[in-house]
Every structure is written in C-alpha cells, then in structure tokens.
Amino acid sequence: MPYFKVGEENSADIELYYEDSGTGQPVVLIHGFPLNGQSWEKQTSVLIENGFRVITYDRRGFGKSDKPSKGYDYDTFAADLNELMTKLDLQDAVLVGFSMGTGEVTRYLSKYGSARVAKAALLGALQPFLLKTDDNPEGVPQEVFDGIKENIIKDRPSFFTGFFDNFFNTDKLGGTHITDEAVKMSWNVAVQSSAIATLACVDTWLTDFRADVKKIDVPTLLVHGDADRILPFESTAERLPDLIADSKLVVIKDGPHAIGWTHSEEVNSALLEFLK
C-alpha cells in the first residue's frame, strides 16, 4: 500500500496512506471528520470514468494513516497535503475538500499558493469562521463545541452514533437517501480513528479562516446543503461568495452535511460541470 512520510514522533515515522487512480488532470479529494479517503466512493469512480486522475489520502489520525499524538492543527494538515502534492509532483491540480477537508484546501492555498492548483471546491465548508465572537456574530457558540468534547471524552462510540444521525439527517432521509448499513459503515470507520485525533480535531473546527479565504486566487466551487446540521449554511457557505473572488455557490435543497453521499448525483453533476 502506498504511504508518504510527513514527520516523526519518537522512534517512529509518521506516514499517511493514499490512493492514486486513473489518468488525466489530477483531482485531490480530502475527506471530512471522522472518516477516511474511502468516504469519497460515490465521487471517485465517476471522476475516473470522466477522464480524471483521482488521489485520496487519509488524514493523520484517521483511516489507514499513522496516528501520532501531535499535529492536529491546520498548519500541519496543510503541510501534510503539501508533502503529497510535492511527492507526486502534481500540476494543474484540483483540490476538493469536504467538511474538515475544506480547511486543508483553504490553508494550503493561503500558505503555499496556487502554483500547482488550477481550481478548488469546498463541499460542506467550514469557512470562514465557525466560532461565534463579538466580531463574528454569525458563528456557533463555544458551548456547543465544549459539549461535543465532553461527549467524546465520556463515550466516543456513542458520540459517533449521535453525530452520524445529524451528519446524514437520518430522521428525514433514512430509508430514502441513506440506509442503516451505510451509516454503520461510517460508524465503523470512525471508531477506528485515534481517540486523541477525534478530540483534538474539534478545536481545529474553530480555526479563523477569514484571512485565508481572501487569498484564494483560483476558481472555486462551493456546494452546501441548506439543511446542514453539522456546519450550518448560514454560518459558513452562505458567507463565502463575498469573500472568495471567483466563486460559485450551489445549494442542495434539503441537503444534510453528508451531501456527497445522500445527494451524490447533484454533487457529482455540479462538480463535473465545474471541472470541465
């Protein structure tokens, strides 16, 4: 299996797992919390069939990647992505992030620039700034995130059960857009993640990306569900067209957070139109 090295901890290397399939313009798919690169399965085959090279990787702490005790911040996540871009010498690439993965895309473009990047797509975006503060009244109160961390510490497997109910809006979409088996598949992936990473990543959601998004200088697609319970549309994607110069917003009606699965046809159509 292919891995690339991103650092060291004590006596061991820190290596991240990736997959590289197809030929054509490279599209790098960066997954959300608390999943792995395989969570893109409804996009990967479609992209390959349409003539794109598709690269996925598992974020540190998740999937088949190593699970160090450090490096759970967006400067490090972006540095990990940069290692992959450099190792594969990707040119004219498209960076596609979902949820937490939008942070890697945004911070990478802000810190490393767009020399290797032609376009970007943010699905279920985390930006511009999720935390409610005096100068960011559209954000989410700190108490919400404190409660999430308390529940992770108390019973991480149980937390994931409730999380995925809201991730997929199972009360509204169960049996039509999402099956119990698909939810369980995501739960099985999540519980294999690092407990340290699961907890540490909550704080990364509160990263202030307001300065980063203004530096994005490539065409950018924004796709978001208007029924997103994890990253509310009004706090995130609705605000981004005013901050990203060359951007297009596609709103998925009744779409939950996990639009890439529940509304894959709409998401894939928007993505392919943007890519071509």
Per the residue annotation, which of 65, 99, 110, 247 is the catalytic one? 99
Enumerate residues 6+ apart whose C-beta is below 8 A from 115.
none
CA distance 118 to 260: 22
Q: How far is CA 158 from CA 20, 92, 151, in A?
A: 34, 42, 8
31 is catalytic: no
Cα–Cα dist 41/242, whole Å? 32
257 is catalytic: yes
Q: Which helix (H) or strand (E) holds 127?
A: none
Of 177, 224, 257, 263, the catalytic one is: 257
Are residues 78 and 10 in contact, defined by beta-carbon separation less than 8 angstroms? Answer: no
**39 is a catalytic site residue:** no
Q: What does each C-alpha distance from 45 to 40, 53, 167, 209 come to in angstroms?
A: 9, 10, 23, 31
3-state secondary structure of 55: strand
Q: Which residue has the tokens 């110069």?
A: 245
Q: Is 4 helix (H, G, I), strand (E, B) or coil?
A: strand
Assigned token pair, 250: 């596609």
Coil, helix or strand for 246? coil
Nearest to residue 33, comparing CAs of 183, 197, 237?
197
CA distances (Å), 112 to each of 36, 86, 88, 107, in order? 24, 11, 16, 8
Catalytic residue among 228, 235, 247, 263: 228
The residues carrying an active-site annotation are: 99, 228, 257
